[in-house]
Amino acid sequence: MDFETQTDKELAAQAAAGNERAFAELLRRYERPIFSLVYRMVRDRALAEDLAQEAFIRAFNAVSSFDPRYKFSSWIFKIANNHAIDHLRKRKLDTVSIDGSPHARTAQEEERTRLVVESENENPLEYVEHRELGDQIEHAIGQLRPEYRTAVLLRHVDGYAYEEIAGIMDLPLGTVKTYLHRARAELKESLTRLTS
């Protein structure tokens, strides 16, 4: 059976029946988006891996309760986001770097914790330019409230519609709009400060 051509819902149904390969395919599809979201929420690679891993395990072990009337991606993003937000509420983190863990004490440790960044369509010069702007944006996103961070990432990195974001974050649509307006205003202000 070709799992790559199946929809998320078909895979979820097969996963609920205990098909291991369906799980593997769902994991392949969502490991990077989920890890990216969680990493940008908690700003620590090792922690992001733990949280993303825990989110996948929770979701997969409860996949039989997934309601196929909704999008699987929304469901799994909701679980991952709730998990990251819960963690942030318990422990406040403000570290910002994609160059490795800020807690690294040696160069080797920093290298080992450096993030793997995909840049398939960029030449080295474009990559460096985007990296500089990207670093500034990453930094600015890191300063946002966790709820604003989620809304901005879901909208502009993962491309979700406002209604879907409202579903993932369990918020009214108007609140999501307000979050996004405020988040973007704060980002613009931060970037203006950084570049001036």
Round to whole Å and give the CA distance between 46 and 39.
9
- Least Å from the CB of residue 105 to another protein: 19
Interface pick for another protein out of 23, 87, 142, 179 (rule CB under 8 A): 23
Interface pick for another protein out of 52, 84, 88, 144 (rule CB under 8 A): 52
Amino acid at 112: R
Q: Using the rule CB under 8 A, is 104 a contact of another protein?
A: no
Q: Using the rule CB under 8 A, is 173 a contact of another protein?
A: no
Q: First and final CA of the chain: distance in angstroms?
A: 56
- Least Å from the CB of residue 153 to another protein: 8
Of 145, 176, 144, 146, which is closest to residue 160 (Cα–Cα)? 176
Q: Residues of 87-115 as b/e, b for ≥16 C-beta within 10 angstroms?
A: bbeeeeeeeebbebbeebeeeeebeebee
Query: Considering CB under 8 A, how many residues would be counted as binding another protein?
Result: 70
> Other CB atoms closer than 10 Å to residue 47's CB: what's the count?
20
Longest CA span, the chain:
57
Q: Using the rule CB under 8 A, is 154 a contact of another protein?
A: no
Where does this chain bind another protein (CB under 8 A)? 15-18, 20, 23-24, 27-28, 31-33, 35-36, 39-40, 48-49, 52-53, 56-67, 70-71, 74-75, 78-79, 82-83, 98, 115-119, 130, 133-134, 137-138, 141, 152-153, 155-157, 162, 164, 166-168, 170, 180-181, 184-185, 187-188, 191
